[in-house]
Amino acid sequence: MLSALMMFICGYLFLSSKGNENMSVTKGKQISVVAATQDIAPYTTLTSKMLTIKHIAADEGLTDYYTSVNDVVGSVCISDVFSNEVLTTNRVVKADDPALGLATRLEKGKRAVAIEVSIEQGVANNLKVGNYVDVIFTAQIQAGEINGLPATAGMILSRVCGEEEPANAQVINENIGQYFSAIMLQNIKVVALDDTFYFDRNTVGKDRQYGSVTLEVTPAEAAKIALLKDNDGKIRLALRSHEDDSTVNEARGSVLERYSK
C-alpha cells in the first residue's frame, strides 16, 4: 500500500514538472509586432519614423497586430496611439478607408461646402462623386426708378458693376426685367452626394437620388457660396465634361439682345 502511494506521488511530481516545463516554453515564446515610437494623434498618416518592431511574449492575448513596418506606413490612425503601444487593425486603416470621413480626402487648402438641391438644381440626379460643375446664381433685383424709368437688373448692374459687367452674367434685357443670372464659380469638384463621399459599387446603375451636393472649394469660394445661399436667389449646378477644364470670361449678355425701345 505504501509503495503504491509512493509510486503515485512520484508520477504526479513527474507529470507536474513536465507541465511546468511546457508552460515555461509557451510563456517564453516571443513574437515581433509593430509598435509606436511616439504618441500619435488621430488622423495622422503614419511614417516609418513613428514605428518600430517590438518583441513581446506570445501569451499576451494580442490579436490583429502588424508584423511589418512596411504594412503600416502610409496608413492612418483613427484613434490616439501612445508611445510603445502595439498597432492593431482596429486602430489603423488604409488612407482611402471611408472610416476616415471626408476631411482626409480634401485637397490641401480646400474646404467642403454643402448645397441643398432640388431635382432641377442638382442636374436631375446625374451627378457623381468626382464630377466637376459650374455654380450658377439667379436672383431678382428689386429697386425703384432710374432716370424716371423702372429700374431693371441690367440698369442696376451697369450702375454698380459697370457696362457689360459682371462677367458671365445674363439679364432679360438692359431695359426689361429684374432678374439676372451669373456663373459665380467654375470647374468645382463634387466631393459628396448627401453623406456619400466615395464610389459605391452597390449604387451603380441604380436611380440614386440626393438632396444635397458637397463641393470642394477655396476658403474665399466657400464664403461666396455662403452669401449666395443666404440671399433670396437660387443656386443651380451645371455639369461639366471630364475632358473640359476650361473657364469662360464673357461680357454680360441679354436674352433678348435685339429688343429695342
- The answer to whether residue 237 sits within a structural domain is yes
- The answer to whether residue 20 sits within a structural domain is no
- The answer to whether residue 95 sits within a structural domain is yes
162, 76: one domain: no
The mean per-residue pLDDT over the stretch 8-16 comes to: 53
Q: What percent of the chain has pLDDT over 70?
A: 82
Q: How many residues appear in the chain?
A: 261
- The answer to whether residue 139 sits within a structural domain is yes
Which pLDDT score, from 0 to 100, does residue 100 have? 85
pLDDT single digits (tens) 144-174: 777 767 788 888 888 888 888 999 999 998 8
- pLDDT at 21 > cutoff 70: no
239, 123: one domain: yes
51, 94: one domain: yes
Contacts of 122 (CB under 8 A, 6+ apart): 210, 213, 237
Which pLDDT score, from 0 to 100, does residue 23 have? 39
Domain endpoint, select from 72, 100, 128: 100
154, 237: one domain: yes
66, 148: one domain: no
pTM of the model: 0.73
The mean per-residue pLDDT over the stretch 122-147 comes to: 88
- The answer to whether residue 181 sits within a structural domain is yes
82, 148: one domain: no
- pLDDT at 38 > cutoff 90: yes
| Paired strand residues for 211 | none
63, 140: one domain: no
Query: Quick one: CA torsion of 217, 93, 194, 233, rounded to 10 degrees?
Result: -20
- The answer to whether residue 4 sits within a structural domain is no
219, 164: one domain: yes
Question: Which whole-number Å values give the CA distances from 256 to 54, 161, 164, 167, in the listed order?
Answer: 76, 20, 14, 17
Residue pair 218/111 in contact by the 8 Å Cβ criterion: yes
Q: Which of 8-12, 175-179, 182-186 has the lowest mean pLDDT?
A: 8-12
169, 231: one domain: yes
49, 138: one domain: no
Domain endpoint, select from 71, 100, 129: 100
User: d(Cα 132, Cα 249) in Å, to the nearest integer?
Assistant: 18
- pLDDT at 128 > cutoff 80: yes
- The answer to whether residue 89 sits within a structural domain is yes
193, 94: one domain: no
| Paired strand residues for 218 | none
Number of structural domains found in the chain? 2
Look at the block and give the residue holding cell 461639366. 240
pLDDT single digits (tens) 64-118: 899 999 999 999 998 899 999 999 988 899 888 888 888 888 999 999 999 999 9
CATH classification at residue 77: 3.90.1210.10
pLDDT single digits (tens) 46-66: 999 999 999 988 766 778 899
**Strand-strand pairing, 253-254 and 234-239:** unpaired
pLDDT single digits (tens) 203-244: 555 567 899 999 999 999 999 999 998 878 899 999 999 999
Owning domain of residue 114: 105-254
79, 111: one domain: no
Domain endpoint, select from 100, 125, 141: 100
Which pLDDT score, from 0 to 100, does residue 22 have? 41
Residue pair 247/183 in contact by the 8 Å Cβ criterion: no
- The answer to whether residue 41 sits within a structural domain is yes
